[in-house]
Structure formats: C-alpha cells, structure tokens
C-alpha cells in the first residue's frame, strides 16, 4: 500500500445463536479479522456477534454501511447454509442496493478443489452505498478459505467502490477524478 492509499476499513459480523448466547466460542470472526489485518493491511474497526435473526442482521448491515461510519467492507460469517435458521443471505439481500453475485461465485469456484461442500453455502455479495458486504460460511475453514479466495481482488474492488479508480487499463487515460491503474497485458 502506498502512502496515499487509505487502508481498508472493515467490520466482521459473526452470525451464531450459540456464540451470541455465550455457549460456543467464536473462532471464525477473529480469524477473518486477523486475515484482513495481516493480508491486506485492513483496519478492523468493529466486530459483533448476533443470533440468526434476520431483522437484527439487516439492521447491523445498514448501521455499519452508513457513510459516517466509513466502513469499506463488511464480512459476515455464519448463517449461509441450509439449516432453517440460516437467514444471513436473506438479511443481506433485504438491504443490499446492488448485488454482486460474481464475487461469491468466484470464491466457490476457487474453493471447490478443496471441498465440494463450498457449494452448500448460499453466501451473497453486494453493496450498500460505498460499502461491500460479503456473507461467508460459518465454519473456521469455510470462512477463511472463502476470504482467501477473494483476497487478491478485494483491494481493487474497494478502491473502485470508493471511486478511487477512474480507469482500468485504457492506454490513453489521464486522471480526472481518480487515479489511473495500468495493467500489463
């Protein structure tokens, strides 16, 4: 990261009835936060553990994505499977302004060589304003493998969402409102 680039500001939401009651230990949330800090230099500004309650999850996504919070990336872990109480994708979809299915499709494709169970996750991705939301599986392995699968493109996605990228490769581009990224062919 150059001196002019701002670190990614992130928040991590663990979705688990048991963890929210204190009867189980959250391992996925802290592992995701650590990956963000060490792998992309992110500043993790908030974390929370909530039960599998759609209204509470949606309210958290909305609160964290408010412009005054300045959060670029929200990762949730848990509630993306097939169990009746797994409602994280529905909560996210109820507040997402622009869905981005390609991100979670990419994560599942990159993870399928490790386990075909990756396709049991119903995780979704999308934006509220200038905040990107990714809903990851709840297991430690599933959540970290899915994040790992996206780490190479997340910084560019955040820069683009922030409006910091004006052009993605036109040879004659000059900066007007953002910086120009040049990519080797």
Asked if residues 108 and 148 have their Cβ atoms less than 8 Å apart, the reply is no
Asked if residues 165 and 175 have their Cβ atoms less than 8 Å apart, the reply is no
Of 94, 115, 93, 118, whose CA–CA distance to 105 is shortest? 118
Task: Give residue-wise pLDDT tens across range 51-60.
Answer: 999 999 999 9
Q: What is the mean pLDDT of the chain?
A: 91
The pLDDT value recorded for residue 166 is 66
Counting residues of the chain whose pLDDT is more than 70, the rounded percentage is 87
Looking only at the bridges linking them, the beta strands covering 179-181 and 165-168 are parallel
Domains of the chain from N-terminus onward: 9-181 (3.40.980.10)
Counting residues of the chain whose pLDDT is more than 90, the rounded percentage is 84
Task: Give residue-wise pLDDT tens across range 64-84.
Answer: 999 999 999 999 999 999 999
pTM strictly above 0.75? yes
* CA 82 – CA 84 distance, rounded (Å): 6
Q: What is the largest CA-CA distance in the chain?
A: 58
The pLDDT value recorded for residue 3 is 41
């Amino acid at each position: 990261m150059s001196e002019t680039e701002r670190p990614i500001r992130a928040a991590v939401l663990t979705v688990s009835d048991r963890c929210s009651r204190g009867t189980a230990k959250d391992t996925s949330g802290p592992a995701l936060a650590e990956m963000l800090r060490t792998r992309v230099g992110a500043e993790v500004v908030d974390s929370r553990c909530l039960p599998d309650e759609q209204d509470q999850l949606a309210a958290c996504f909305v609160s964290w994505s408010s412009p005054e919070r300045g959060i670029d990336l929200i990762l949730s872990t848990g509630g993306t499977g097939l169990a009746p109480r797994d409602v994280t994708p529905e909560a996210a979809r109820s507040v997402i302004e622009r869905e981005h299915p390609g991100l979670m499709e990419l994560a599942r494709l990159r993870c399928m060589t490790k386990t075909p169970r990756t396709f049991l996750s119903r995780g979704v991705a999308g934006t509220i304003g200038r905040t990107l939301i990714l809903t990851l599986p709840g297991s430690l392995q599933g959540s970290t493998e899915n994040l790992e699968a996206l780490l190479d493109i997340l910084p560019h996605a955040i820069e683009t969402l922030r409006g910091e990228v004006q052009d993605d490769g036109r040879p004659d581009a000059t900066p007007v409102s953002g910086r120009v990224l040049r990519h080797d062919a």
